[in-house]
Amino acid sequence: MSFIPVDENSDFPIQNLPYGVFSTKDQPRHRIGVAIGNQVLDLSAVKHLLDGPILSKHPHVFDQPTLNHFMGLGWEAWREARVFLQKLLSANEPTLRDNVELRKRAFVPQTSAVMHLPAEIGDYTDFYSSWQHATNVGTMFRGKENALTPNWLHLPIGYHGRASSVVVSGTPIRRPLGQMRPGDDGPPVFGACRLLDVELEMAFFVGPGNRLGEAIPIHDAHKHIFGMVLMNDWSARDIQKWEYIPLGPFLGKSFGTTISPWVVTMEALQPFALPNPIQNPKPLPYLCDDRPYTFDINLFVSIKGEGMSKPATICSSNFKHMYWTMKQQLAHHTINGCNLRPGDLLASGTISGPDPENFGSMLELSWKGTKAIDLGNGQTRKFLQDGDEVIITGYCQGHDYRVGFGECSGKVLPAKPI
């Protein structure tokens, strides 16, 4: 228990302690903070208290405007920081609790904090690792007999996304312009995307990287995974459909990707680890690891349209539905010698479960636009409209506490004419 009051439904109890980057109106400098209850602990204000063998030699990492340097120190430093913070914030530890002047400098109400991207994202990779999502989309476009491509069950498929358009929660997303082909036989047309979609995803930040030409073995992959965020990988379905053959998504995805600001560490998530999914056929040896690295994370997608008094939940899913694990994704990403760097972002792909309410995209929920999604009070959607705000939330439920991620939200702005 912490001396900072924490509501039982708070995402940020002492069992969590996620990292983020924030500023305030009176102090616009970007600073690293930790969420506890409804407060942010400014780590630059308490770094002088670090006394562990690693962080006492590297206190400067908490003076940086991003988490990259801290991410790069590795899992032993992350563990040391967690032990230090849980002790510092505990109810029976007087160091910060009884120092009124230090508390005044160190804590900022979350309502006064402006959140920023937690890291400088050098590269962003998006995977396609939900069996149900891949099956649903494949069935729509290729038929049930050819739903999965021949390689899908053998490797975690991914593509390189656009890091520059990854934005923090609360940033508006403008409806993209591009080429579309309304009919299968007619010519392409140019205009605003008509089939704008949400994609429920999660993503992890890379910690220490690897040298060019050297792979990360799967049994060491956990040492390179810093923590997780919620993600909405917005998708322009009509633009994507016309452009994606033969090289995959381009303008249909690169216009915007939203992530939540708080990075929940893997150590905070460890109590919620589950056995890995049974994979048949068994993957090649470089992708095999039996240690549990699937997580029980409840996920929700809501839409709040203009004129709606409250958001309507359209999807309830869970990260445990993923087929390929994060360790498999990272090991596969580097098996060819590709070098990852601290702050790189690797995303899950759309997270869909076995039941229709678990489908993580409107493409699936509306089944390619053939069914309306009920938002209540006479409002329906097949795809997103201008003015719609999409809100993704998620948490792990413990005994009398939850480890949550906060919000990942963005509002759709109309396309900008050229």
Q: What is the DSSP string of 50-84?
A: --STTGGG-GGGGGSSSSHHHHHH-HHHHHHHHHH
Distance of CA 54 to the CA centre of its chain: 28
Alpha-carbon distance values, 227 to 128, 202, 353 (Å)? 19, 10, 23
Whole-number Å distance between alpha carbons of 270 and 191: 46
**What's the burial of 86, exposed, middle or buried (CB within 10 Å: 0-12/13-18/19+)?**
middle
Alpha-carbon distance values, 206 to 29, 192, 306 (Å)? 24, 35, 37
133 given a catalytic annotation: yes
3-state secondary structure (DSSP) of residue 111: helix
Q: Catalytic pick from 58, 60, 116, 133?
A: 133
Radius of gyration from C-alpha coordinates of the chain: 22
Beta-bridge mates of residue 258 = 167, 232
Indicate the pairing of strand 402-413 with strand 312-318.
unpaired
Q: Do residues 60 and 73 touch, judged by C-beta distance below 8 A?
A: no
Catalytic center residues: 133
